[in-house]
Structure 1
Amino acid sequence: MTGYIKAVLFDLDDTLYDERTFVISGFRAVVAYVADRFPVDEQGIFLTMMEVLSTEGRGKVFDKALDRYGLYSPALVEELVGVYRSHQPQITLYPDVIPVLATLKEYGVKLGIVTDGLHSVQKRKIEALGLEGLVDVIVYTDELGPNHWKPDPTGFLHALERLAVQPTEAAYVGNDPSKDFAGPKAIGMLPVHLKRNDNLIEETDCEAEVHITELAELLQLFNLIHH
C-alpha cells in the first residue's frame, strides 16, 4: 500500500470515540431531569438504566426504568428521549485520534467524517469532541435524506467531491461491518475495519479489505512512517 491515498474518511461513533460514553452521558442528563421532577433515587434509576441497557439493549431503557419506579407514561418517555437527544455530551476522543489525524495532515492527506444518526445529535457530538477544526469536511448523512444513510454511498461521494479527491484515492475507516464498508467498496474506496478491543460488534460478512486494531496502523498502511 503506497502513498496513493489522498484522503481518509472516518466513521464517528465507536471509531473516533467510545459511543458508550455518549449513552452514559445521556442517561445522566435524563436522570437529572427525572430527579428534578420526582422524588427518586438518582443513582438507583441510573443503575437501573444501565442494567436494562446491558440486558435488553437501548430500545426500551426509559420505559423499563420509569416502570420500575412507578413513573411510566408515554408522554414522559417522549420527554426523556428529547432530553437524551438534546443534552450536551460529556465525551472525549480516543487517545490515538489527534496524533494520527495530525500526522496524516502533515503528509498532506485530506480528512473527513461521514456519520449517520440524527443531524442535531451528531453535530453536538462533533462539537463536544472538538472535531470541526481537525478535519476538512464533515458529512451528516441525515441531511442528505433517510435513504442516504450508510451503506448508501452518497455520503462518501459527497465528502470526496468537496475534497476534490477520487474514490480510488481514498480510504474509509469504520467499525461496523453491517453498514460501514459496502458503500465505500462499491465506489472504489479502500474500506478499513478498525476493530478496537472494546468494540463488541460481530464480524459477519465484513467487506473491509484491511483490518486494524489501532488507528496508528493507518500510518504504516499508507507508508507514512518507517520502522
Structure 2
Amino acid sequence: MMKGVHFLAIVALLSLTSSLVSAEDPSPLQDICVAIDDPKSAVFVNGKFCKDFKLAEANDFFFEGLQNPGNTENPVGSNVTTVNVDQIRGLNTLGISLARIDFAPYGENPPHIHPRGTEILVVLEGSLYVGFVTSNPENRLFSKVLNKGDVFVFPIGLIHFQFNTGHTNAIAFSGLSSQNAGVITIANAVFGSNPPINPDVLAKAFQLDQKIIEYLQKTF
C-alpha cells in the first residue's frame, strides 16, 4: 500500500514539474525593461494603456495608405512601411503586425533581425533574392530567389535580408508574429551605435584594419 502511495506522489510531483517547465515568461514587447520598486514611475511592458471598451471604434482597427509606394531614394534603395501597434491601436495584445517593403532596382533590405517576431513575406511585384542565416556554430544560409506570388519565412531572431535582383521596382508585403516585432539592422547597430563601440573591439571582431572600422563608423 505504501509503495502505491509513493508511486502516486511521484507521478503527481512529475506532473507538477512538467507543468512548471512548460510554462514560460511572456515575450518582451520592447528592447529593455528595467525593474523598479516605485509603481508611480512604472510603465506598462507593452508601452500601451487600454482604451475603455465602450469607447472603442472601427478606426482603432483601421489603417490606410499601403497602396502608396515608399520612398526608395536612399543609400540602400528600399523603404519599409510598418503597420504595427503604433499605427493600429487595436493590434494591442493581438500579437501580429504588417509591413510593406518597396525596392528600387537592385535595392535591398539590409541584413537585420526581428528580436520579437517571425516574418512571412510574399512578393507582389518583381523578383527578390532572400535568405536567413542560422545561429552559431553552423551559420547555415537558407536562400531563395522569389518571384511574384512566392512566399518565404524568416524565423524569429535570425539574421535575414531581401535584395531586388531586377532592373525594375519590386514590392513585397510581410506579416510578423508580434504587435511590435522590432528591427535591428546589423550594420547600423554595429557601426552606428550611440555612443560608438570602441574601434579596437570591432577591428578584432571583423579582422579589419582600425582605419576601415573608423571609416565605417563615420559612414553610419
Q: Please classify the TM superposition score into its range, dividing by the shorter chain length.
A: under 0.3
Compare the two structures and name the one with the higher strand fraction.
2
Q: TM-score normalized by structure 2?
A: 0.26
Higher Cα Rg, which structure: 2
Compare the two structures and name the one with the higher helix fraction.
1
Q: TM-score normalized by structure 1?
A: 0.25
